[in-house]
Amino acid sequence: MRAKITVLPENKQAEIDAGEYILNASDIAGVILNSGCLKCSCGTCAVEIVSGGENLEPLTNKEKAVLEKKGKNPQQYRLSCCVKILKGEIVIKSN
């Protein structure tokens, strides 16, 4: 199954395999996102989800805690290194 990511403000898009992490999908689209630990604990990779949040893996308690610690609303932001795009299309704002 295929999915799609659009990265703003660069307005770069890519079709990707469903199950790809947001961080990797943005790289495929030609946008390198900031990242740090790659273990869902530092929060450096937080990106704003503009649309398509329903197409992502569910928010975990660990991810929610990291986002809240960084002052990011878990209803609006996700950690790109540990969240997979399950289906459909998402639009994010690069960090």
Could you tell me the CA-to-CA distances from 68 to 2, 54, 95 in Å, in that order? 31, 20, 16
pTM (two decimals):
0.95
pLDDT digits 0-9 by tens, 2-59 = 999 999 999 999 999 999 999 999 999 999 999 999 999 999 999 999 999 999 999 9
pLDDT digits 0-9 by tens, 61-92 = 999 999 999 999 999 999 999 999 999 999 99
Question: May I ask the CATH class of domain 2-93?
Answer: alpha beta
DSSP summary character for residue 58: P
